[in-house]
Structure 1
Amino acid sequence: ALDLVAQGHEVTGSDDEIYEPSLSRLINAGIAPVNFGWFEEKITSDIDIVILGMHAKVDNPELLKAQSMGLNILSYPAFVYWQSKNKKRVVIAGSHGKTTTTAMILHVLKKLKMDFDYLVGAQLEGFERMVRLSDAPLIIIEGDEYLSSAVDRVPKIHHYKPHVSVITGIAWDHINVFPTFDSYKKQFVLYLDTFEENGTLFFYKNDEILCDIVENNKAGISKIPYAGLIKADAGSVMYEGNTFPISIIGNHNLENLNAARLVCESLGINTISFFGAIADFTGANKRLQKLSDKNGRLVFLDFAHAPSKVKATTTAVKEWYGDKKLLGVLELHTFSSLNKDFIPQYHHALAGADKAIVYYNEHTLKMKNMPDLDLQFLRESFDHPDISLITETDSLYRLLHEKKYNDYNILLMTSGNFNNMPLEF
């Protein structure tokens, strides 16, 4: 919305909730709605395009009015493609690591003063917003496989038609719209047929399911496998016989780093320039974000919520800081993570932690119209020798601040916010 205003378009919008920093930015641009909510009288015949986000449901009164008037309705990803159809499009896809890999690429391009647009799923240091749409010749898109809108029920990645893409790996997610793993996997099978002619795919070669999909695909695109870069020590990697400094941790991030390197190489950036630019990259917001470093104890916050992400993140912190015990804390917040048919996917996901805590807010279950969880079933599903299951936010806060955990590193993982629990250590 802000970029469209900057381009000279007249923009209005509606939502039932708008949070900071978005609200202040919309107010400053003069386009914040006067009242929150949905008002069909806002939909008039002089509107050229209605852009629909996932938050608007099929019975939304403004959507129904726009449909009845025959207005041009586009999902957000369809609009992004429409705005970028004359650009070179790079799409970072996969079940995990998308935001970090995208952020790495954006970090390098910005430091090298390249002109580019972008769409990314987290607030990044050095970037005012999470999207930029201009007349730049290149766009970097974080490609989510979730549905595009309530009336455009195809994955967002199916809209973008990439010239270059990464698939980081495949692990079942979004059980509410993909109730089986096969239905989820199929979206990536279909994705490979959306590439522009002579496109390029970089795919993670140690994912057997992904490799099988790529091998069976007949599209006329270049398919290039990759793995993680080699760790030299805690602060550097090896590449082609040379050592380069880095500021990230975790083997999964060395995989993301190599994917980012390959994309940048395809954009004409040489090895020395890439590693010089990436050296001070510390991660995207809530992606192994360091909250505290006091008295020899580290506290990290991470967006990990799907099983593969939880396992990779927990393992990364334990391996990088193996001299200290690790307290791993996971909030079950998404529909998938609270679904009893999906929860067994978390088996051993917290194995890297010496002490595990699984927290969920019973109010979240009520808001999602989901049944209560059986604690014994949860315990058996995670199968961790030292696990606490907590549903009260105050109890979680007290446990995290018990003296016996003062010499533990702490890893907080959530796609929510622990019911607004203070994250002070």
Structure 2
Amino acid sequence: MRIHILGICGTFMGGVALIARELGHHVTGSDLNIYPPMSDALAASGIPVRLGYEPKNIDPKTDLVIIGNGIARHNPCVDYVLNQGMDYISGSQWMCENVLRHQHVLAVSGTHGKTTTTALLTWILETAGLTPGYLIGGVPKDFKETSRLGAGKYFVIEADEYDTAFFDKRSKFLHYRPRTLIMNNIEYDHADIFPDIEAIKKQFQYLLRCVPSNGSVIFPNSDTNIQDVLSRGCWSTQMATGDESGWYAKLLTPDGGAWECYFKGEKRALIKWHLVGNHNVQNALAAIAAADSIGVAMHDIEKAFATFSNVKRRLEIRGCVNEVTVYDDFAHHPTAIATTIDGLRKKVGEQRIIAIAQLGSNSMRMGAHGDALSFSFQAADQVHVLRPEDKSWDVAAVLKPLGNKAFVHDSVADIIDVVSKAALKHDHVLIMSNKGFDGIHERLLDKLSV
């Protein structure tokens, strides 16, 4: 079958493309933003990608067009597909019909931690010899690709609550039919499509209805929004994390690099790994619970943690110049910013942390999280934020509680200039964005080396 994918360079749609190619389809795609790492992965798999959304990019002989959720109705290619009467489908629905429907799906959902938890759970199953299929919404360091079909009955998928397509406004995860469901957390996000937290809860409520009674739902006991959703109806086995009613951790090091894993008071594993931060420990407990629920042995779980490399852009060290370390992180929500800084603080102690942030998500650009933004940066010694294009709110006023340690900049070049002059030996520069941030990482490293 000849398949063309609109929005192919996103991590999810790129993953769909790789799986379609693995199934033997002839795959092409279009996107406005063609850049590594996904462009490299597609090229390595022999998938041609065309720049832009001109109708001429779609071969008239195409059998099916898969449309990404970022593609709007007014897109010229959408108009062409509809006018020509071509068959089209969303990426999530295609995954359901062609990959997931006969698999034991382990879905990882929640506002934060999905990508790390999905990658970790996949690596646990891989270490146990189960050869799972997977689709990860990031670039895993332990695998060559962001997705694959796998060779067994298990498929691990990152389950996003964002809407499916311009013609299907359900959350993407409602297509996945999970038998094992992880709900990491539920917070307000995606202000461009959800009017309030209740609208998000309703999608999770529908998701719970899709899990069979012989399936499992894994969640942290401390999350009140999840507790509210569960109270509306859950027909599956419930597995709690975070306290002695279920799975919990006893830290052996303050940064979470080593800890003991317990289940209802019984020690089950000794975990030593390269990740830091309490948020990652909580993600890990969910992955352990999911793996244990399908019979993975604890010695395989321990081995997987010892060798797990995480995904790119998760507190990833991009370089160290003149004893100044520069990190890259995907954090783009106040909670994620706060937990990332806290994890780094526990690792580096009293050494200075200079936080740099681009408010890249739709919610952040719109100022939907303004009330929580200054609090999220409190543990940093300096804060540098790129002023968002949306002028309907004043980011400088929002950051005012941070006093003279917060700076708002009108350009990336200005951030680089100021931070390169302010950075001292043993400083840690933490750059946070879910966008490319105009290549700030390499540009700053170059400036620091002068």
Answer whether TM exceeds 0.5 for this pair. Answer: yes
Query: Are 1:250 and 1:316, in contact at CA under 8 Å, matched by a contact in 2?
Result: yes
Establish whether residue 103 from structure 1 lines up as the match of residue 119 from structure 2: yes
Change (3 A) 1:384 1:330: farther
Q: Distance in 2 between matches of 1:341 and 1:6?
A: 40
Establish whether residue 186 from structure 1 lines up as the match of residue 202 from structure 2: yes
Q: What code does the residue aligned with 1:300 have?
A: Y
Q: Which residue of 1 aligns with 2:104?
A: 88
Q: Distance in 1 between matches of 2:195 and 2:301?
A: 40
Q: Distance in 2 between matches of 1:91 and 1:284?
A: 17
Query: Are 1:15 and 1:38, in contact at CA under 8 Å, matched by a contact in 2?
Result: no
Establish whether residue 390 from structure 1 lines up as the match of residue 409 from structure 2: yes
Q: Which residue of 2 aligns with 1:147?
A: 163
Q: Which residue of 2 aligns with 1:306?
A: 333
Change (3 A) 1:391 1:230: farther
Query: Are 1:43 and 1:65, in contact at CA under 8 Å, matched by a contact in 2?
Result: no
Q: What code does the residue aligned with 2:65 have?
A: V
Q: Distance in 2 between matches of 1:243 and 1:133?
A: 31
Change (3 A) 1:416 1:11: closer
> Which residue among 139, 147, 155 is the counterpart of 1:131?
147
* C-alpha distance after superposition, 1:313-354 (max 9, x if no partner): 111111232231222222112221121343223240111112
Establish whether residue 420 from structure 1 lines up as the match of residue 445 from structure 2: no
Q: What code does the residue aligned with 2:405 have?
A: D
Q: Which residue of 1 aligns with 2:281?
A: 254
Q: Distance in 2 between matches of 1:110 and 1:383?
A: 45
* C-alpha distance after superposition, 1:264-322 (max 9, x if no partner): 11221122220122113242110111223566654321100111111111111112322
* C-alpha distance after superposition, 1:138-171 (max 9, x if no partner): 1100011111112121111111110001111111
- Post-superposition offset of 1:57: 1.4
- Post-superposition offset of 1:209: 1.7
Query: Are 2:209 and 2:235, in contact at CA under 8 Å, matched by a contact in 1?
Result: no
Percentage identity across paired residues of the two chains: 24
Once structures 1 and 2 are overlaid, which stretch shifts more, 344-353 or 161-170?
344-353
Q: What code does the residue aligned with 1:109 have?
A: L
Change (3 A) 1:243 1:26: closer
Q: Distance in 2 between matches of 1:85 and 1:112?
A: 23
Q: What code does the residue aligned with 2:70 have?
A: H
Query: Are 1:52 and 1:149, in contact at CA under 8 Å, matched by a contact in 2?
Result: yes
The residue correspondences of 1:230-245 to structure 2 (distance < 5 A) are: 230-233=250-253, 234=255, 235-240=257-262, 241=267, 243-245=270-272
Q: Which residue of 2 aligns with 1:165?
A: 181
- Post-superposition offset of 1:28: 5.0
Q: Which residue of 1 aligns with 2:25?
A: 9
Change (3 A) 1:22 1:375: closer
Establish whether residue 379 from structure 1 lines up as the match of residue 399 from structure 2: yes
Aligned-pair Cα RMSD in Å: 2.4
Q: Distance in 1 between matches of 2:403 and 2:180?
A: 40
- Post-superposition offset of 1:33: 4.5
Query: Are 2:420 and 2:444, in contact at CA under 8 Å, matched by a contact in 1?
Result: no
- Post-superposition offset of 1:260: 0.9
- Post-superposition offset of 1:22: 3.6
Change (3 A) 1:152 1:18: same
Establish whether residue 203 from structure 1 lines up as the match of residue 230 from structure 2: no
Q: Secondary structure at the match of 2:291?
A: helix
- Post-superposition offset of 1:66: 3.1
Establish whether residue 359 from structure 1 lines up as the match of residue 389 from structure 2: no
Question: TM-score, structure 1 length as denominator?
Answer: 0.89
List runs of 5+ in structure 1 lacking aligned partners: none
List runs of 5+ in structure 2 lacking aligned partners: 1-16, 243-247
The residue correspondences of 1:207-218 to structure 2 (distance < 5 A) are: 207-214=223-230, 216-218=231-233
> Which residue among 317, 337, 341 is the counterpart of 1:290?
317
Change (3 A) 1:384 1:143: farther
Query: Are 1:93 and 1:168, in contact at CA under 8 Å, matched by a contact in 2?
Result: yes
Q: Which residue of 2 aligns with 1:265?
A: 292
Q: What code does the residue aligned with 2:103 have?
A: K
Change (3 A) 1:256 1:35: closer
Change (3 A) 1:269 1:64: same
Q: Distance in 2 between matches of 1:61 and 1:409?
A: 45
Q: Secondary structure at the match of 1:276?
A: helix
Question: TM-score, structure 2 length as denominator?
Answer: 0.85
Q: Which residue of 2 aligns with 1:50?
A: 65
User: Size of the alignment, in residue pairs?
Assistant: 415
Q: Secondary structure at the match of 2:192?
A: coil
The residue correspondences of 1:307-322 to structure 2 (distance < 5 A) are: 307-322=334-349
* C-alpha distance after superposition, 1:389-422 (max 9, x if no partner): 1122122112221255333222211112322222
Q: What code does the residue aligned with 1:93 have?
A: S
Once structures 1 and 2 are overlaid, which stretch shifts more, 311-320 or 397-406?
397-406
Q: Which residue of 2 aligns with 1:323?
A: 350
* C-alpha distance after superposition, 1:210-267 (max 9, x if no partner): 12221x1323111111015221025311134564322110011110111111111122
Q: Distance in 2 between matches of 1:116 and 1:289?
A: 26
Q: Distance in 2 between matches of 1:36 and 1:148?
A: 21
Q: Which residue of 1 aligns with 2:3?
A: none
Q: Which residue of 2 aligns with 1:281?
A: 308
Change (3 A) 1:144 1:397: same
- Post-superposition offset of 1:113: 3.0
Q: Which residue of 1 aligns with 2:240?
A: 225
Query: Are 1:16 and 1:38, in contact at CA under 8 Å, matched by a contact in 2?
Result: no
